[in-house]
Structure 1
C-alpha cells in the first residue's frame, strides 16, 4: 500500500512538473551556480518527454516482435537447429555498447532518431528473446500432455496453450527491455535525437546540476512507473493462466 501511495505521489509530481516546470524553480535553485537558470526552457520538457517515450515505445515494440518471432521459430521442430544463430543475432546488441552502435549508424543513417532507434532495438532483443524462449520451453508437463491428448495442432497449441502460459515470462522480458531502453535512450541526444538526454547534456556542458537533476528525475520516475506497470500486467497474466 505504501509503495502504491508513493508511486501515485511521484506520478502526480511528474505531471505537475511537466505541465508547469517553472513552478518548481525554487526546488532546483539551491543547486545552481552563478545565477544560472534553475529550469531548462530551451525545449519544453513535456515535448522532450513525449519524444523520448515515443522512441522507446517504437524500439521496444520492434524488439518484442522480432524476438517473439525468433523464439517461436527456434522452439518449433523445424527451427530448433537455428537456435545458436538466433542467440548470436539477439546478443549483438548486448555485445556492442549503444554508443558504438550510434557511431556506426550515424554515417549510414545520419543524425536524428534513426541511429537511436537502431541502438535501442538491438539492445532490447536479448531480454525478450531469452524470456520467451524460457516461457515456451518450460511448460508444465501435464498441460502439454493434455494439449496433445485433446488433438490440438502445433498452431493451436502455440496460440491457445504455449503463448498464454509463457505470457508472464514474456512480459518480464519486455519490462527489462523497456526500462533499459528508457535509460539508454538519453544518449540519443548526442546524435541529435529529441530525448531527455538533451537536458542532461545541457547541464553537463554548462555545469548546471539543476538541469542534470531534472532530466534524471523525469527518466527515473517514468522508469519506476513502467516497471510497476509491467509487474502488474505480469501478475494479471499469471492469475489468468492459474500460475498464482
Structure 2
C-alpha cells in the first residue's frame, strides 16, 4: 500500500493522468473552443479521433525507438571494442550529421523512395534519434571502472560475458539517459510526419497552421507536450531505479 501511495505521488503519474484526461475530454470540448474562438466555423479538429492520433503517434515513435536503441547500442558497443576503435571518429561524425540534418529534409528525400505515410516519418525519427543513444552508449561503456572489469577477467569471464554481466549493467543508467533524450526529441519531431500523410498528434497542428485555425494548433500542441513530458518523467523514474 505504501508503495502504491508513493507511486501515486510521482509527477509521472500526474502528468500521465493529465494527458489521458485531456485526450478523453477533447472530443467533447467543441463548446469550449467555440467560446474561445467564436469566429472559427469549426473549432474542434474532427478529421480523425484524438485517440487514433495518439495511438498512431506512439506507434511511430515506438518503432523508431526500437530501431534506434538496437542500432545505437550496437554501434556504441562496436566502437568501444578493440576491433572497432578505429571507426569511432567516422561514426561520431555520421551520427552528428544525422542530428543536425533537418527532419524535414529527411522526409523530402525519403518520400520519393518510400511514399507518403508513416514510413518516411519513421526513417526521419531514426536518423534524428541515433546520436543521443550512440553517444550515451560510448560514454557509459568508456566510464566503466577498471576494477570490476579486472575482477571479471580474474574469474574467467569471456569478453562477451564481461560485456553482458559487468559493462552493460554498469553503463545502463548513462545509456538510458541517451534513450530518454532520443525518445523525447522524437515525440516532438514526429509531429512533422503529418506533412507527408502520417497520422500523428501533429495533424491538428499542421492543419491549424495551414488553415489559420489556432484552436487546432492548441489541441495538438497540448497533447504533444503532455505526451513528451510524461514519457520523459517515466524514463527518469527508470533511470533513477537503475542508478
How does the TM-score come out when normalised to structure 2?
A: 0.91
1:179: which partner in 2? 184
CA contact (8 A) 1:17 1:24 kept: no
Equivalent position to 2:52, from 36, 47, 58: 47
Aligned partners of 1:22, 1:48: CA distance in 2, in Å?
12
SS in 2 for 1:41: coil
Tell me by how many angstroms 1:206 deviates: 2.2
Residue 74 of structure 2 corresponds to residue 69 of structure 1: yes
1:146: which partner in 2? 151
Output aligned runs, 1:1-244, within 5 Å. Answer: 4=9, 7-238=12-243
CA contact (8 A) 1:31 1:209 kept: no
Aligned partners of 1:177, 1:9: CA distance in 2, in Å?
23
1:194-213 deviation line (CA, Å, top 9, x unaligned):
11111101111222211101
CA contact (8 A) 1:36 1:208 kept: no
SS in 1 for 2:42: coil
Aligned partners of 2:69, 2:195: CA distance in 1, in Å?
25
Tell me by how many angstroms 1:7 deviates: 4.7
SS in 1 for 2:116: coil
1:63-114 deviation line (CA, Å, top 9, x unaligned):
1111111111111111111112221332232131101111111111111111
CA contact (8 A) 1:32 1:208 kept: no
Aligned partners of 2:40, 2:123: CA distance in 1, in Å?
39
The runs of 5 or more residues in structure 1 that have no matched partner are 239-244
Give the count of matched residue pairs.
237
Aligned partners of 1:6, 1:173: CA distance in 2, in Å?
21
Aligned partners of 1:184, 1:63: CA distance in 2, in Å?
14
How does the TM-score come out when normalised to structure 1?
A: 0.91
**Comparing 207-216 and 11-20, the one that deviates more:** 11-20
The runs of 5 or more residues in structure 2 that have no matched partner are 1-5
RMSD: 1.8
Aligned partners of 1:76, 1:235: CA distance in 2, in Å?
28
